[in-house]
Structure 1
Amino acid sequence: MNTRSAPKIDVFSPIALDSLQLKNRLVMPPLTRSRAEPGNLPSSMAATYYSQRAGAGLIITEATQASAGGQGYIATPGIYSEAQVQAWTKVTDAVHQKGGVIFMQLWHVGRISHPDFRGGDLPVAPSAIAPRGVQTYTADGLKDIPTPRALETHEIPVIVEEFRQAARNAKIAGFDGIEVHGANGYLLDQFLEDGTNQRTDRYGGSIENRARLLLEVIAVTADVWGSDRVGVRLSPGGTFNDMCDRHPQETFGTVVKRLAALDLAYLHLIEPIQPQGEHPMPDLSVHFFRPLYPGTLIVAGGYNLARANAVLQAGLADMIAFGQSFLANPDLVERLQRGAPLNTPDPQTFYSGGANGYIDYPTLGEM
């Protein structure tokens, strides 16, 4: 009898996403950097930025507009024009030359926008509900977000088709797959959660109806890529952008069970921060979702190396996202392997533009 135990899985263990072989389980998640150039082109420095971080098992780009109407912040890139496709091709080429794997995250911000980005038109949303206390960065600085216009039912298929075309464009640009952004209070999340969706048509009311747009977007992007190259990001219980749902376990539990049947590349969950106080949030961690989702599960939420390895070894997740750590450490994988100290992220440069705080964080060899 073979009494040798199986080797322990850790963040440095390889993993396969169907036919994609990933060299480790460390994920660089989407990180908005607000450095897009005129025409919403990815920065001319983006190829350097992403290829510096090609040691990650998987890179997921900053959130990228599937259409011109999906923009909500200044200097964020798109994937709806030929020029944008050509610019992104330089990024994918650079990452692949370094042996990296890169997915593009596709988004539409919905109500988290401003008429400045929409030719004077109001932002659109499932319902005409303004996000309380939320502002957005425009060319003229921070501005309050107005009450959005509720989408007409006949307008929604247009948005679905914009995601389909964006998925095609991402494929032309050489990406290895795409991630559908269903998190953080943007359009697909706004339809999903009952705090922002008060519709009475086929896109509102029941959980199945509120999830319809998300599932339609997944279906059309999977038509382009195959479901095994489509990931989905969700943020159950997240409150960013004034989000709420009365029954988050039921809502997100139902959605995750639906996703489990789709043979996706992965499900990417942002674990909520548990609030302090007398009304604790229901469990929306991987402990709740793992039994519902047997496929590849990525988890994000302030992980360090020890906590990441503990979650992997417990079988609660398959890959771990390290956000600001990848932002500030282009050689994060090597640093973690060697137990070396990490660079400290500089929040003042997260969205400041330019090379500073973008491509100039030193590697171990440069210190």
Structure 2
Amino acid sequence: MTSLFSPIQLGAIKAPNRIFMAPMTRARGTREHIPTSIMVEYYAQRASAGLIISEAIGINQLGLGWPYATGLWLPEQIAGWRKITDAVHENGGRIIAQLWQMGRVVHSSFLDGGQAVSASATTAPSQAHTYDGKKPYEEARALSVDEIAEIVQHFRDGAKNAMEAGFDGVQLHAANGYLIDQFLRDSSNFRDDRYGGSIENRIRFLNETTQAVADTIGADRTGVRLSPNGETQGVRDSDPVPVFIAAAEALSRIGIAHLELREPPLDGTFGVGEMDPLASKLRNAFKGPLILNSDFDMRRAEAELRGGIGDAVAFGRPFISNPDLPYRLQNDIPLAADDADTWFTQGKEGYVDYPAADVQVARRA
């Protein structure tokens, strides 16, 4: 019987268990978007995950608008991530890079006063995180067709740089209201060219970008993340089921190594779905491994795997404070609580100072 502790093949990657570490922005890079030494320790501590999906990593400055996040377009960034991937591999782990273009949620302060881009000229709700605190989002401008092709090339370059940095593969961030998601859904895409209007047109950017990355590093090292069941950062769709079935079918034809679905439940604790998760509806549309994500505990995760809805589960917040999460789950060891106040700070506190379970026991003794 399939369980969280069964191995799984994800294209070219063989994972020893199905407890994956979800991508989580933690803001421990430099202002130049270069990884730091404490990031090496952080990821190495969590190498027992069946697969680590890295925090979101920018493919260019135009699309990176989060303080102290990292990139993969400069040699120094590639070298910094190489130290991290080497440490993960030395500790027996596997790690892929999540490639990120944030689109309209990049504040102009990250762009030397320039304007963010999106599928259409729209403005995200709420406020942006900047180095000077929160500021209102500003209107983004619509990308031209030529500029869309340039961003596809940036994703291609980002994937190539990820492999140079020692990653085992990549995941395209097409979820959570970021650029690819802004093209997918009709609340943010008002285009009347071949990238807007019909479902076929709205999934075109996702399809072209994924194909470009797969052609560059191999479909067997390429994955995608989607968030079908609700609004994120003001991005939603009036009829999401056919949109995401079409997207899943297109990704399946490319033959990517995995599809991750970030779907908070209706009573979610970190984001709330607008409808029940769509994983069961997308199961037949995507023929490869399906990774489930959001608000899972061990009981729910095992039930979804036994029911055939998913093939692995990505855990986010539990990995923050439990670096040895697979060991704890397998041995029924209570999970440590995390401190939300240290999620996005720049120091070691709340980042690399959560002990493994055996260390906790030794301290009590």
TM range (shorter): over 0.9
Q: TM-score, normalised by structure 1?
A: 0.94
Q: Which runs of 4+ in 1 moved over 3 A?
A: 280-284
2:197 pairs, out of 183, 200, 205, with: 205
Indicate the residue corresponding to 1:305 in structure 2: 298
Distance 2:11 2:148 in 1: 32
1:257 is aligned to 2:219:
no
Counterpart amino acid of 2:245? G
Q: Which structure 2 residues correspond to residues 22-171 of structure 1 after superposition, within 5 A?
A: 22-132=15-125, 134-171=126-163
Distance 2:239 2:276 in 1: 11
Mark the CA change 1:191 to 1:115 in structure 2 (over 3 Å): closer, same or farther: same
Once structures 1 and 2 are overlaid, which stretch shifts more, 184-193 or 9-18?
A: 9-18
1:229 is aligned to 2:225:
no
Using the TM superposition, give the Cα deviation of residue 272 of structure 1 relative to its aligned residue in structure 2, in angstroms: 3.6
CA contact (8 A) 2:265 2:277 kept: no
Once structures 1 and 2 are overlaid, which stretch shifts more, 298-307 or 237-246?
A: 237-246
Indicate the residue corresponding to 2:262 in structure 1: 270
Distance 1:142 1:67 in 2: 22
Distance 1:164 1:253 in 2: 25
CA contact (8 A) 2:264 2:295 kept: no
Where 2:318 maps in the other structure, the secondary structure is: helix
Where 1:203 maps in the other structure, the secondary structure is: coil
Distance 2:287 2:202 in 1: 23
Mark the CA change 1:331 to 1:281 in structure 2 (over 3 Å): closer, same or farther: closer
Using the TM superposition, give the Cα deviation of residue 18 of structure 1 relative to its aligned residue in structure 2, in angstroms: 2.9
Distance 1:55 1:264 in 2: 24
Using the TM superposition, give the Cα deviation of residue 19 of structure 1 relative to its aligned residue in structure 2, in angstroms: 3.3
Once structures 1 and 2 are overlaid, which stretch shifts more, 53-62 or 210-219?
A: 210-219
Counterpart amino acid of 2:324? D
Distance 1:281 1:249 in 2: 12
Distance 1:348 1:191 in 2: 33
Q: TM-score, normalised by structure 2?
A: 0.95
Indicate the residue corresponding to 1:192 in structure 2: 184
CA contact (8 A) 2:229 2:276 kept: no
CA contact (8 A) 2:22 2:315 kept: yes
After superposition, the CA RMSD in angstroms is 1.4
CA contact (8 A) 2:241 2:278 kept: no
Once structures 1 and 2 are overlaid, which stretch shifts more, 62-71 or 290-299?
A: 290-299
2:208 pairs, out of 197, 216, 226, with: 216
Distance 2:249 2:11 in 1: 20
Question: Identity of counterpart residues, as a percentage?
Answer: 43
1:359 is aligned to 2:352:
yes
Distance 1:34 1:295 in 2: 32
Counterpart amino acid of 2:292? V
Paired residues in the alignment total 356
Counterpart amino acid of 2:187? G
2:237 pairs, out of 237, 241, 245, with: 245
Once structures 1 and 2 are overlaid, which stretch shifts more, 82-91 or 239-248?
A: 239-248
Using the TM superposition, give the Cα deviation of residue 274 of structure 1 relative to its aligned residue in structure 2, in angstroms: 2.3
Distance 1:60 1:194 in 2: 28
Distance 1:349 1:43 in 2: 17
Indicate the residue corresponding to 1:289 in structure 2: 282
Using the TM superposition, give the Cα deviation of residue 226 of structure 1 relative to its aligned residue in structure 2, in angstroms: 0.5
Mark the CA change 1:275 to 1:100 in structure 2 (over 3 Å): closer, same or farther: closer
Where 1:269 maps in the other structure, the secondary structure is: strand
Counterpart amino acid of 1:306? R
1:173 pairs, out of 136, 145, 165, with: 165
> Cα deviation per residue 1:21-57 (whole Å; 9 max; x = unaligned)?
2110011010000111132001221111011000000
1:11 is aligned to 2:8:
no
2:313 pairs, out of 309, 317, 320, with: 320
